[in-house]
Structure 1
Amino acid sequence: MISRRNFLSSAALLSAGVLMSPSVFAYNKRYIGLQLYTVRDAMAKDPAGTLAQLAKIGYNSVEGATYTGTQMFYGMTPQAFAAVLKQSGLIMPSAHYRLGEEQMNGAPVAGTMLHDWDRAVDDAAAAGVKYMVCAYLSEAERGNLDHYKYVAEQLNKAGERCKKAGIQLCYHNHDFEFAAQDGKIPFDLLLNGTDKKLVKMELDLYWVNKAGHDPLALFKQHPGRFPLWHVKDMDRTPQKAFTEVGNGSIDFKKIFAHADEAGLQYFFVEQDTTPGSPFDSVTKSISYIKKNLV
């Protein structure tokens, strides 16, 4: 794909500095993504209008958040949603899903890794999704180390099905996976207990920092295992709350310098809660990213 720099500039940079700074070319800097959970209320009311507004702000990539349970993308079939994305000049390379142990009203939830995963994968392929991400484990789905081993087994199985459709399965972390149990870290168990070709990681940079762990150490220990990132910042208050990218304490410049080692392909801004309009917050975030990170 063509980078934001023109060909001549790219060629000059390659000849002059690629040996010194290989991470500059680790991923396509053309794409700046947003996890749609950030604008979930607006997407529920007017998905087409919301996507158009995000494109106007400058985002050209999004990550889905609502397929689970409905087996639709924001109330639309995969084909219809793909058409709406195209109208705004957006791509959706990644989307979030759930494990599916948790029931709703006493019944299994379809479109999860444990229930009707075949259809979920087929629908993802139809929508143009390249990465299906296990987004979250509820408290009931976490359990002890043996249960995390079970989760790893299910990730491998789900990843095998994704592979058949040309899709990569990933797992998205929070902070609870880094809470030690019997001297072991569940996140390490998930990394080591899954096939590195079938299961990769979407590293949430906020949560790994809040858990007191170093993303650069993870990149070094598991190079190429982190093709997706969530880029969200942590404010400097004792609460360590979410804040706009560049407005907090996380050193994104240092982390992005290791993009090649991580295996980064796409990143998505996410801010679970915002002080005002989420559109104001995501505008501030993309402004910082364009000036400092890409």
Structure 2
Amino acid sequence: MTSRRSFIKATTLASAGLLIRPSALLPVSSRYIGLQLYTVRDAMQQNAAGTLQRVAGLGYNAVEGATYTGTQQFYGMNAKAFAALLKQQGLVMPSSHYRLGAEKMKGADVKGTMLHGWDKAVDDAATVGIQYMVCAFLSPQERGNPDHYKQLAADFNKAGETCKKAGIQFCYHNHDFEFQQQNGQYPYDILLHDTDAGLVKMEMDIYWVTRAGMDPVKLMNEHRGRFPLWHVKDMDSTPERKFTEVGSGTINFKNIFKHAQEAGLKYFFVEEDKCPGDPFASIAKSIGYIKKNLV
């Protein structure tokens, strides 16, 4: 199983042209500007091929997946078919989101999660050319006290070991609940300190870190090399602190991007969980700002 996964991974990356030498990586690589496909989730469900074509037409050349769990397919397609679609549109998908799987669906275990069917998920990720498999979210039922987060850290290490055998890096994506203290501890600190830094890295959602009152740059400097992936979305100045297009809000991305090397950044993805209107108008505005000001 492992040797097959490693072979698929190597040949897929080679055919997609993704084998990047470390010397070729800039602090922020201008080679890739990514989009988290959750931003255009409705369009992806209706017409995945047409949506990816529009995304590429706006100038994005990388995407991050937001669906697999439960169906064990990528937007209704098996791994081979979805990989072919990405190639057809000139896109790469270096990262994709997954779920823990402790929460049941209609009383049944959810396949394609870290706890149920992870081997197949890793196989399929290798086929698509995914380099990072990311735990996207912990539902309220999957959270708990500090001891529970220590157990989650062990679960993440185990998932990371399986990923590593296939040449894939496991990551965890934060929201803001991880920065709510419990017995004087932040759950996020537990996850950082109780996971193996080689097996478990972090996808920093800069919006949620900022909303939680934390300093993204401080985290990057305290845990250098731990944040190869970023989610880039802005926060407006209203009391609700809503999501907004990159460059339209209050987050100082120009300063944050100066610290990409300390973070260990490899890829970043524009994400806007809720857009005020047409998501394609929002992502066009974001990439315009990014190209002009950040890369």
TM-score, L = length of structure 1? 0.91
- In the alignment, is residue 227 of structure 1 matched against residue 261 of structure 2? no
Match for 1:258: what amino acid?
H
1:139 maps to what in 2? 140
Task: For 2:49, give the aligned amino acid.
Answer: A
How far apart are the structure 1 equivalents of 2:26 and 2:199?
Answer: 24
Paired with 1:142 and 1:156, the residues of 2 have a C-alpha distance of 17
Counterpart Cα distance in 2 of 1:29 and 1:222: 24
Write the distance in 2 (CA, Å) between the matches of 1:249 and 1:111.
Answer: 37
Return the offset for 1:117.
0.3
Residue identity matched to 1:196: A
- Number of aligned positions between the proteins: 271
Give the whole-Å Cα distance in 1 for the aligned partners of 2:131 and 2:288: 27
Give the residue type in structure 1 aligned to 2:112: G
3-state DSSP of counterpart to 2:113: coil
Query: Which residues of 2 match residues 53-68 of structure 1 at below 5 A?
Result: 53-68=54-69
Partner residue, 1:39? 40
SS of 1:268's equivalent? strand
Q: Once the two structures are superposed, what CA deviation does each residue of 1:14-43 show, in whole Å capped at 9, x if it has no partner?
A: xxxxxxxxxx92242110000000000000
Match of 1:167 in 2: 168
Aligned to 2:21: none
CA distance in 1, matches of 2:233, 2:277: 16
Specify the alignment match of 1:3 in structure 2.
Answer: none
Match of 1:216 in 2: 217
Which structure 2 residue ranges, 5 or more long, are not aligned?
Answer: 1-24
- One-letter amino acid of the counterpart of residue 34, structure 1: L
Cα distance in 1 for residues equivalent to 2:152 and 2:30: 33
TM-score (norm 2): 0.91
Paired position in structure 2 for 1:80:
81
SS across alignment from 1:25: coil
Report the counterpart of residue 18 of structure 2 in structure 1. none
Deviation at residue 128 of structure 1 after TM alignment: 0.5
Q: What are the residue-to-residue correspondences of 1:66-215 with 2, within 5 Å?
A: 66-215=67-216
5+ residue gaps in structure 1? 1-23
Structure 1 residue 83: deviation in Å?
A: 0.5
SS at match of 1:286: helix
1:48 corresponds in structure 2 to 49
Structure 1 residues 130-157: Cα deviation after superposition (integer angstroms, max 9, x where no partner): 0000000000001111111111000000
1:10 equivalent in structure 2? none
User: Whole-Å Cα distance in 2 between the matches of residues 287 and 264 of structure 1?
Assistant: 21
1:271 to 2:272 alignment: yes
- Give distance in 2, aligned partners of 1:246 and 1:286: 10
- SS of structure 1 residue aligned to 2:191: helix
* Residue of structure 2 equivalent to 1:9: none
Q: Could you list the structure 1 runs, at least 4 aligned residues long, displaced by more than 4 angstroms after superposition.
A: none
- 1:204, distance to aligned residue in structure 2 (A): 0.0
* Contact residue 95 and residue 130 of structure 2 kept, 8 A: yes
- Deviation, 1:125, is 0.3
Q: Is 1:248 matched with 2:249?
A: yes
Identity value in percent:
68
Q: Residue 275 of structure 1 aligns to a residue in which SS?
A: coil
3-state SS of 1:170 partner: strand
Amino acid corresponding to residue 269 of structure 1 in structure 2: V
- Per-residue deviation, residues 58-114 of structure 1 (Å, max 9, x unmatched): 100000011000000000011100110011100000000000000000000000000
